[in-house]
Amino acid sequence: MVNEESLEILELEIAMMVRALRSRTVDLDEAQELNRASYLILLLISRNGPMGVKSIAEKLHLDISTVSRQAAGLLTEELLEKKQSRTDRRSYIYDINDKGWDVIAHTRKNRKQRFSKMIDKWEDEDIDEFARLLQKFNNLMN
C-alpha cells in the first residue's frame, strides 16, 4: 500500500518540476537551435537508430501527424535524412546526418551545463540515485 502522504508529496513535486521546466524551457528554447520536440526526436533516433514516424510517435506519445510535421521541419533544417525502409519499400525511416549530430552534441552540451549548475552541490550518489529513480518512473509511462 502506498503511503498517502508520500503520494501527495510526489504528485506536488512532479507538478512543480514540470512547471519549472516548462517556464525555463520557453526562454531557453528561443536561444537554442532546437525546440524541445525536435531535440527529443533527434535524441530518440540517436539512441535507437533510424526510425519510422509511427515508432517515433509511439515512443514520444504523440500522434503521427505531429511527428510528421516535426520531422519535416528537421528535414528542412537538414538535420535528418529520409530513407526508404529496407523492410517495407512503401514506408520511410528517418536518420540523423552529420549536421544533425553536430547540433545534438552542441545542444546536449548546453543542456548538461544547465543541469550541472542546478545540481552542483549534490553528491554523486544522489545524482545517480535521482537519475535511476527518474528513469524508473519514466519507464512506467511507456
pLDDT tens per residue, range 46-100: 999 999 999 999 999 899 999 999 999 999 999 999 999 888 888 899 999 999 9
d(CA 122, CA 110): 19
Residue 8 φ/ψ, nearest 5 degrees: -65, -40
Contacts 24+ apart (CB under 8 A), 87-90: none
Q: Considering only 23-37, 95-109, 118-132, which range has the smallest mean pLDDT? A: 23-37
CA atoms of 90 and 81, how far apart (whole Å): 16
